[in-house]
Every structure is written in structure tokens, then in C-alpha cells.
Structure 1
Amino acid sequence: MTEPQYSLDDIRQNVTRIDNELLKLLAERRQLSLEVAKSKIQTAKPVRDQEREQDLLLRLIEVGKSHQLDAQYVTQIFHTIIEDSVLFQQAYLQKLANPDSLQPVARVSFLGAKGSYSNLASRSYFSKKQTKLVEMSCSTFRDVVSLVETGQADYGVLPIENTSSGSINEVYDLLQHTSLSIVGEITLPIEHCLLTAVDTRLEDIDTLYSHPQPHQQCSEYLHTMGNITQEYCSSTAEAMMKVAELKLPNVAAIGNASSGELYGLTPLKSGIANQQENFTRFIVVARKPVDVTSLIPAKTTLIMSTAQQAGSLVECLLVLRNLNINMTKLESRPVIGNPWEEMFYVDVEVNLKSEVMQQALEELTRLTRFIKVLGCYPIENVKPTEVEIEG
């Protein structure tokens, strides 16, 4: 048997050295992307250049092959790097566009205690802004909004829709009556697990603590568990806290595995969501709207009430189609106090300040009984540039 050329300690030291060098190079690359953003201000070029990204990826795949690196591996790594670069440039440009909103520390309200999905979304969103958080836990969505409205919090983070359970109606209803503006969004992968405080078996679980949304998102798996007593909580964090307090072999909570660690819980069963690709989109609200530079992709959200006659909504949607405005969301909610009347929520991928959006608003104002812009904000979800990988 051939003796290894290096000892295990030597190998680990070399791996550590290379990892440190990689981190240094990634930091250097990120700073160069900032210089790119500065140059784009002078030339008025958009942050993303899909054609250049595609050429870059194809070149890197070829270079990777010469180092015996798989094309999919190279692509996956650089998709992440490109996403970080785009978001880093967007954050820089947004700071220039909104100098009054520069805050090294932000007070942020969210549903649940530390470890809730809303808390994870808050941390993820503001970490990209390089902003420290003062975290303000709330027991209801109404409280999240109220803290911002009264100035006790600078921002509120609210879940708006999930790929499995759909729209979160309570949040849409709150948006109908608040004076707050949507200033940002973030999409978070949701990884539901059954979490327990003690060693136990799946067949011993007869009581489950959960927020209603995760329960709905995991309904198919929970159905296979038979007759389970469901105890609803105000958040996933509260559900985890309850199970941690009980320390019983027959109870479990639905939550995120890393969040469960905060409460001393361990996963008994992972991947229990109805859909493997389970994501929740969160919105960020504030008292004042933000300006979105034309160099980055933007989304505008508005609400409108149409006339109570056939074809009224269709006429409004035709305005968007005729102006080639991409609508990404259409949601209807009843108008409280007005039976059979509905308010429509619309997300469009266009900057509020653009000529085409201003024209659309002018036409929609003539066609609707009521219309209000809820906010214009940067699109934070960076779609990967696709390249063909030879099999």
C-alpha cells in the first residue's frame, strides 16, 4: 500500500489556506463589482447585462474543463457569485438614490420570536444592506404594521405569498388600509421539519404545534400521520418554544432546523412540505417610499377597485398588455363593508418613475373607481443566466 505524500494535518492546513485565499479573492471581486456600479452611473447602463453574463459563464466552463471541473459545478458557483455581485451593486446604487434613508442600525418588526421565518427573512434582507438590526418581535401581523406606523420601528417584514399555500390574505387586507409603502422584497426558501425536544419516534407523536401557514404547507405529509391533535400558535417560533418547554416524547413542532437549534430542538423528520420547491415571498414596509434608480430592475405594487360591470377588470389588464408591462401578480380581496365589491392587488415589473408606468397609471385612473400605488422597490430575486451545458 502506497504511503500518503502528506499527513492528514498537512492536508487540512492546505485546505484551510486555500479556503482563506478564496475568501480573500471573493472579497476583492466584490469590491471590483462596486467599481463596475460606479462606472455604470456615468454610462447609464443597467446593472445586469445578461449577454455578458452568458459569455462569462461559457468561458468559465471552458476554463473549468481544463482543471477537470464539472460544468454544472462551475455554473452553480458562479451563479451565486453573480447574484451577490448584482445585489451588492443594487444596494450601492439605492443608497445613492436615497441618501436620507442611510441607517447603520434599523429597528425591524416581524412576526414571532427569534428563529421565526419572518425573523430569518429580516436578517437575510438587511444583511445584504450591511445594516445592523434591532429586532422587534410581534405576535400579530397587525402589530408588525402598527409599530412602523407609529414610528416605533423603521421597517416591518411581512410574508405575502407562499408557493405551496398561496397568498396570505390577512397581510393583503392590512395593505388595503395602511399608509405604509412597500420598499423591498425578499424570497426565502422554506424548509419545514418536525422538531422535537427529546429522543422519540414518529409513531409516538400525537400533538403538533404549528402556525396555520406551515400546517397548510405540510398538509399532505401530516395526513399520513393519522389522527394528530393540532395546536395552532402565533408563529413558528412560538410553536418551537412551546415544544421546548413541554419536553414530551409525544409532541413536535413544525419549523426550520437551524431555528430549532436556538430552542434545543432536533429534526425528527425533514422535507415534509407539500412541494419540494417551497418558498415564501416577504415584503418590507416603511413610512416613506423609496426612489428606485433606473439602472436596476424594479417592481411596482398597486391596488385598484373597478366598476361593478362586465369587462371592467379586463379593460384595466389590457392597459398593461398594450403598454407591454409584465404583470407578475393579480390578487383579489373583498372590500370590507361593501358586499360583493373587490379590491385588486397588482404587481408589475416596471419602475414607477418610468414614462410607460406613468402612462399606465393615467389610463387606469380613468378606468377605475379607486387606485393607489403601494410602493416601488428593487427586484431582489436575481434569476440565474441560463447557459447550455453539454451532457
Structure 2
Amino acid sequence: MIDLLESRDKIDKIDMEIVRLFEKRMKICEDVAEYKIATGKKVLDAERERQKLKALRGRAHGEFNQLGIQELFEQIMAISRKRQYQLLTEHGVEDEEKLEMVDFLPLNNVTVVFQGVEGAYSYAAMREYFDDDIKSFHVKTWRDAMEAVVEGKADYGVLPIENSTAGIVAGIYDLLTEYDLNIVGEQIISPRHVLLGLPEASLEDIRCVYSHSQALAQCSKYLEAHPEWRTQEMENTAGSAKKVREDGDITQASIASRQAGELYGLKVLAENICSNDKNATRFVIVSKKPIYVKDANKISVFFELYHESGTLYHMLSHIIYNGLNMTKIESRPIPGKNWQYRFFVDFEGNLQDSAVKNALRGIEAEADRMRILGNY
């Protein structure tokens, strides 16, 4: 039987030698970075890395060790690249600025578009975020809102992006990749859904409940307690209240805000119907101008990856190695590319921070596609 302590001592000595060689290798990588800085050569040489990995894997014995060597050196090479990205920033090698820093966002005497009608939660988010002297108008769909900002009909658009109960608003994520707009702010509100009906209606009369899909999802437990009711999705909550008022049918009800009920002359049939009493919805403010305020502290990006093992880990490691706090990650399928996904990541920081510059430099260099959605 082997001596365990003796084996551990041998491993410790080998590990110390690995550390010594690792640091020696990293010093040479810094020399390589100096050369690349001087010549303008890119940090990532994907073809050389593939050839080197193939050669190193061939030096190992047995399939398990071959896989281990490939994984080990993939990580060593990725770490080397991250150090080189840091050195580029330290030497003042700047990428082209994607967004312009401003002291503040103009929030008065502007035009704002929101999806829905007055009384919708998008309208409430707009009133919370902007000054009172704005001009505003509403449109039917989120795409219409995006188009209005792109065409210059509105300075800003207000769009719901996620809810703490029902999750992300997938359509907004997809539209953010389609339109070249920038997130310049966010507003969180706490929807207080109520069940609205005609003044003469009672709960016993109700047979159909209208609302936006998110509101229906947020009140799913309440609705499940009434299996005799059918539900029907509409484009927004306030619009569902308006429909109930216009149809004049006592069997219809709407899930919307109390303010929408007051606006359309409806009666509250039930309160506190949301499944989560801490329900909150996050709205983003989008602009055509590529700007961010100097004290912005959240960054949103999306990126697409080559369909290879480990690519997502390598992207996220740029955030980890630079000491940044990732607050959110979502994925959406890429149209026309079955089983390939586009990733949306939020992390804390400002575009002027060196750590942020390092992380974004690495992600942009190694992703198939990357865009900063905003710093706000």
C-alpha cells in the first residue's frame, strides 16, 4: 500500500513547480502583449491556439489525460488573453467609444412614447421617470414604440423588460437586438393588479377575464381558483379595461390597475390578486442617442457565440476575472440558427472603468457578435 503522506508531499512539490512555470509563462505572455501593442496585432489568434491545443493534446497519454490537457491549456490560454487585454488598457490602447458620456439626461421638454393607453403600467412608469412637462403619446405595439424612437417622433421610449413574478418580456429582448437603440435608464414600479368589472357586475357574473399575458401570469393562482373563467390575452392591461367598458358585458372582467378602472369607470371586484405581494416590473428607457450619464452604474450587453463547448464560460470569465458583479443573464434563440442562442448579460460598472473596458474588450474580441445595449 502506498504512503498517503508521501504521495501528497510529491503532489505539493509538483504543484509548486506548476505555479513557478505558470508565472514564468505569464511573464512571457506579457512580453508578447508588448509586441502586439507595438505592432497593433490582435490578442486572439484563434488558428494558432487550435494548432497548439491539438499538438499538446497529442503529447498526453490516454483519452482522459488528452481531454484534461486540452481543458487545462484552454484555460491557461484564456487567462493569458485576459492579462493581455488588461495590458492594452494600461498602455492606453483604447477601442472606439461606442457611447458618449454626458452629465445628465434631458428629461423635460421631451417627447416620450409608450405602448398601450393611459392607465397602463407603461404610462405609470413614464410618469415616475420623467418630469411633468413632457409630451407623450401611445402606440399599439412595442415595435411601434421602437419605430417611433428610431424615426425621431419620440426622444425616448418606455418598455417593460422583466417582471419579478412572470420573468422576462421576451419580445423586448428580441427587439433590442433588432433596433439600434440604447438603454439610457430604468424605472421599477410595483403593479397592484385588481379585477375590474362593470359597475353593475359581481364576481358571480364573470365568465371571461382579459389582460396582458404578463398580468395574467402574475395573477395565475387567483385565476386558477376560478376554473369557470376563461382568459384572453390583450396587448396591454389598460386596453383590456377599456374593452370591458366599451363592450358593456357584465360577464367580462379585466386585470389592470386601479387607476385604469377609475379612468374607464369600472368597479373593483377583487383586490390583492397578484400571486406575489412583492410583484415588481422593470421598465427600460430607450433612446436613439448613443449616450450614458457619467454616474451610470449598470451595463447591459448581448453577445452571440460560436457553437463550441466552453464558449459561454469563456465569455463570462471576462466579467469574473475583472472583478465585476454580474446581476443577470438571459438567453434567447437566434432566428435561423437552430439550437443556438443569444445571451443578454447585465453587470455593475461604468464604461470609464478600466475593469469594464478590459471585460468588454475581451468579450467583443472573442464573441461572434457583441453590442453594448446601454450604461445607465
Fold-level similarity (TM above 0.5): yes
Aligned residue runs from structure 1 range 188-337, under 5 A? 188-293=189-294, 296=295, 298-337=297-336
- Is the 8 Å Cα contact of residues 180 and 288 (structure 1) preserved in structure 2? yes
Aligned to 2:349: 350
Q: Distance in 2 between matches of 1:165 and 1:192?
A: 13
Aligned to 1:19: none
Q: Distance in 2 between matches of 1:224 and 1:179?
A: 43
Aligned residue runs from structure 1 range 4-15, under 5 A? none
Aligned to 1:115: 119
- Is the 8 Å Cα contact of residues 159 and 168 (structure 1) preserved in structure 2? yes
Which one-letter code corresponds to 1:337 in the other structure?
Answer: G
Q: Distance in 1 between matches of 2:226 and 2:164?
A: 23
Aligned to 1:132: 133
Larger Rg, first or second structure (1 or 2): 2
Unpaired runs of 5+ in structure 1? 1-95, 378-391
Further displaced range: 135-144 or 195-204: 195-204
Which one-letter code corresponds to 1:132 in the other structure?
Answer: D
Q: CA RMSD in A?
A: 1.6
- Is the 8 Å Cα contact of residues 182 and 283 (structure 1) preserved in structure 2? yes
Unpaired runs of 5+ in structure 2? 1-100
Which one-letter code corresponds to 1:318 in the other structure?
Answer: S
Shift of 1:315: 1.2
Matched pairs, number = 276
Shift of 1:372: 0.7
Please state whether the residue corresponding to 1:132 is helix, strand or coil.
coil
Which one-letter code corresponds to 1:319 in the other structure?
Answer: H
- Is the 8 Å Cα contact of residues 182 and 374 (structure 2) preserved in structure 1? yes
Shift of 1:103: 5.5
Q: Distance in 1 between matches of 2:325 and 2:204?
A: 48
Q: Distance in 1 between matches of 2:159 and 2:240?
A: 19
Aligned to 1:187: 188
Shift of 1:114: 0.4
Aligned to 2:155: 154
Shift of 1:176: 0.9
CA deviation string 1:156-183 (max 9, x = no partner): 0110000111001100000111111100
Q: Distance in 2 between matches of 1:181 and 1:206?
A: 42
Aligned to 1:370: 369
Shift of 1:271: 0.9
Relative to structure 1, the CA distance from residue 241 to residue 371 in structure 2 (aligned partners, 3 Å threshold; closer, same or farther) is same
- Is the 8 Å Cα contact of residues 198 and 247 (structure 1) preserved in structure 2? no
- Is the 8 Å Cα contact of residues 98 and 290 (structure 1) preserved in structure 2? no
- Is the 8 Å Cα contact of residues 296 and 375 (structure 2) preserved in structure 1? no
Which one-letter code corresponds to 1:348 in the other structure?
Answer: F
Aligned to 1:31: none
CA deviation string 1:355-375 (max 9, x = no partner): 110011111123211111011
Q: Distance in 2 between matches of 1:102 and 1:213?
A: 31
| Percent of aligned pairs sharing the same letter | 36
Shift of 1:186: 0.7
Shift of 1:226: 1.4
Please state whether the residue corresponding to 2:317 is helix, strand or coil.
helix
Which one-letter code corresponds to 1:270 in the other structure?
Answer: E
Shift of 1:215: 0.8
Q: Distance in 2 between matches of 1:349 and 1:323?
A: 11
Which one-letter code corresponds to 1:301 in the other structure?
Answer: S
TM-score by length of 2: 0.71
Q: Distance in 2 between matches of 1:192 and 1:131?
A: 25
Shift of 1:131: 5.0
Q: Distance in 1 between matches of 2:107 and 2:346?
A: 28
Shift of 1:107: 1.1
- Is the 8 Å Cα contact of residues 197 and 243 (structure 1) preserved in structure 2? yes
Q: Distance in 1 between matches of 2:260 and 2:148?
A: 24
Q: Distance in 2 between matches of 1:337 and 1:109?
A: 31
